[in-house]
Amino acid sequence: MQQTFYKYQGTGNDFVMIDNRQELFDKTNTKHIAFLCDRRFGIGADGLILLENHIDLDFKMVYYNADGNESSMCGNGGRCLVAFAKYLGIVFNKAVFEAVDGIHHAEVENNMVKLQMQDVHAIEKHEGHVFLNTGSPHHVQFEEHIEDFDIRKKGSKIRYGEPYNEAGSNVNFVKKISEATFAVRTYERGVEDETLSCGTGVTAVALAMNYLGETNQNLVTLQTKGGDLKVSFKKEGNSYKNVWLIGSAKFVFKGTI
C-alpha cells in the first residue's frame, strides 16, 4: 500500500505528518510506525503525527514516538501540525485542536507558530533537579559543560533510573546564559537519544528557571541545537498559566512511501 506523507520540522525536531481524516492509517501497527520514523530504512523523524477529524474542534492530534508507541504531548509536533493544518486549508491563522493532554489553542504568522500549553500547577524540587509535567514528564537540571558532555549516556541513566524507571522521563540539561536566556539539551524518551529541540522540554525549563528564581522574566528564550524557542507565561501563586510555546514550524517535503 502506498502512503502519502509530509515532513515538517520545528527547530530541528522533525516529524512525519499524515492526513488521516479518512481513517485509513493502521494505528495498531507499531512496527510500521517505527519503520516510517527510521532514518536509515524509512523516512526518518523524531515522531509521527496523524491529523484527524474532531467533532467540535478544527482537528485532532495523535502523536507517536519514533519507537512506534503512542506518547504524551509533543510541543514542537503540535506547532508543526498547526502549520500542516494551515497547508491543508483546515485553518487560517488560528486553530483549536485536541491532543492527548487536552485542548490547545494556536496562532500562525508566516513560519512562526504560537502554541498554548497546559497550565502547570505543580513543580517538584529535589536535590540537584526539579520535575514537572508540561504535557510530558520532564526532569530539569543544570549542566555547566553543556556543549561537550555525553548526553546520551547521562540522559539515559537518569531516564531509566530512580524514580522514573520503566515509565521514564525526558531529561533536560540547562546552562544559564543571561537573565532571560538559557541553553538547553534534551534527551527524549521514545526517541532514546538527544533531539535537536523539544517543545515540552523547553517549556519545562522556562517554568523551572522561574520557579528556582533564576529568572524573573515571563518571556524566556531557550537556545537549542536546532534554533531558538521562546516561552511566555503568567505566574499565579504556585501555578503557571497562559503558557505559550513560540517558534518556527516549517514544511520540508512531501512524498510517498
Catalytic residue among 66, 117, 184, 198: 198
Distance CA 111, CA 103 (A): 22
Give one word for 237, left, alpha or beta, with left for phi > 0 and alpha for psi -120 to 50: left
pTM for this structure? 0.95
Spatial CB neighbours of 150, under 8 Å, sequence gap ≥ 6? none
pLDDT in tens, 200-245: 999 999 999 999 999 999 999 999 999 999 999 999 998 999 999 9
Distance CA 3, CA 256 (A): 5
pLDDT in tens, 164-176: 877 789 999 999 9
Would you say 107 and 93 are in contact if contact means Cβ atoms under 8 Å apart? yes
pLDDT higher than 90, residue 160: no
CATH architecture assigned to 4-107+249-256: Roll (3.10)
87-114 average pLDDT score: 96
Average pLDDT, whole number, for the chain?
96
pLDDT higher than 90, residue 190: no
Catalytic residue among 18, 48, 74, 115: 74
Q: What is the pLDDT of residue 167?
A: 79
Q: What is the pLDDT of residue 168?
A: 83
For domain 123-247, the CATH superfamily is Diaminopimelate Epimerase; Chain A, domain 1 (3.10.310.10)
Is there a common fold for 4-107+249-256 and 123-247? yes
Domain residue ranges of the chain, discontinuous segments joined by + = 4-107+249-256, 123-247
Q: Inter-axis angle of helices 199-211 and 75-87, to 10 degrees? A: 130
Is 198 part of the annotated catalytic residue set? Answer: yes
Q: What is the pLDDT of residue 88?
A: 98
